[in-house]
Every structure is written in C-alpha cells, then in structure tokens.
Amino acid sequence: MKVMLTGNRVVKWGSSDDTPRKAAVLMVLLTRPGLVFDVSSPDLATVS
C-alpha cells in the first residue's frame, strides 16, 4: 500500500503487519529530507 503525503511525498507502507512499529519508524523518517519513505520493512526503513 502507498500513502500520498503533501509535498509530493509518498510512504510505502506494505502490508498491515506491524502497523504500530511502522508508524513509529515513519515519524522519525519524516524528519529527514526525501520524497519516498519506505517502512514496508520497518527494520530496514529507507528514505530516498
């Protein structure tokens, strides 16, 4: 699943598994510059 944010930013969420952890990781990632925030695997989250 993809979630569109303001500023042409996209979150790659993946499945609904581990949603609380993904949300926590995403909050940290959103403090970094980038357009694509991938938390589909929260242990290996990326920003690009």
Confidence (pTM)? 0.93
CA distance 35 to 18: 23
HEC-encoded secondary structure of 1-48: CEEECHHHCEEECCCCCCHHHHHHHHHHHCCCCCCEEECCCHHHCEEC
Please list, in sequence order, all residues whose beta carbon lies within 8 angstroms of the beta carbon of residue 24, skipping any fewer than 6 positions away. Answer: 42
pLDDT of residue 17: 96
pLDDT of residue 27: 98
pLDDT of residue 32: 97
Q: What is the tens place of the pLDDT at every residue in 1-48?
A: 999 999 999 999 999 999 999 999 999 999 999 999 999 999 999 999
pLDDT of residue 12: 98
